[in-house]
Amino acid sequence: MGKESNDFFVLRVIPLLSVAVFFVGWQLLVDLNIIPNVFLASPSEVIRLLIFKVTHADPDGAVLLTHTLVSVQEALYGYLLGLIIGIPLGLLMGWFVVAEGLARPLFEMIRPIPPVAWIPLTIFWFGIGLAGKVFIIWACAVVPCVINSYTGVRMTSPTLIQMARTYGASDWQIFRYICVPSALPMVFGGLQIALAMAWTTLVAAELIAADAGLGFLITMGRRLLRPDMIVLGMLMVGLTGLAIGLLIDWIERRLSAGFERGGVSS
């Protein structure tokens, strides 16, 4: 019981206390004018604005849910497109020599380009609408998906592959029933990296060119000299990204459990 109580205190109580101390300290810094509220809004001001923005579009033209859904929609479309292209491409490159020979030179040429470097050209091609944001997110998300999927296949146990060949399995059967399940942990690691990069890049793109979204909310806060709007936008970016990350973790656990029950786990 003593160890369990200590673990509960360390894992549950201490994190809550640290968060509480952070917000109380933040509030005091602003209330005591150590940091003037023209530079940083207090937590209470951010909470008041959060409640207000739930039902009011002022002063930026949309309620908070609209900004959040716009950002999530843009991120989701680009992210899914990156997964649909990146994961199969990485898996195929990892196992089939022809696929690697065809795709890797072009991929290695594009990979070093920072996602934000695409923003000016994307605005020229697509404007500031949905298509441009989706393209930027795709360019960001596809890279870690390809790299991790490729690496996951390459890390497949040679013993399992040799055993399958001994029993007469074809290259496709080895790829399908051994390499793909074996690569799943690396694939989902790539999904998490892609999510973090895509979400950050989206907000950066919205800061530069957008007419809605959480990045646009932050930009409007800067233009209107409203630090409470800026902090609220940052808070929603963090909370929304956390929620999406937790959803991916849940999907990973479900899929991994399904493969284990199916007897194809490596």
Neighbours of 265 (CB within 10 A): 13
The whole-angstrom separation of Cα 134 and Cα 130 is 6
The whole-angstrom separation of Cα 216 and Cα 67 is 8
Radius of gyration of the CA atoms of the chain, in A: 23
Mean pLDDT of 44-56: 93
229 compared with 3, residue with greater pLDDT = 229
138-172 burial code (b ≥16 CB/10 A, e <16): bbbbbbbbbbbbbbbbeebeeeebeebeeeebeee
Contacts of 52 (CB under 8 A, 6+ apart): none
- Give the predicted TM-score (pTM) of the model: 0.77
Neighbours of 21 (CB within 10 A): 10
What pLDDT score does 160 carry?
Answer: 87
Mean pLDDT of 232-243: 90
| pLDDT classification of 261: cutoffs 50, 70, 90 | low
What pLDDT score does 265 carry?
Answer: 44
- The single-letter DSSP state of residue 13 is I
265 compared with 255, residue with greater pLDDT = 255
Mean pLDDT of 67-85: 91
The whole-angstrom separation of Cα 255 and Cα 266 is 13
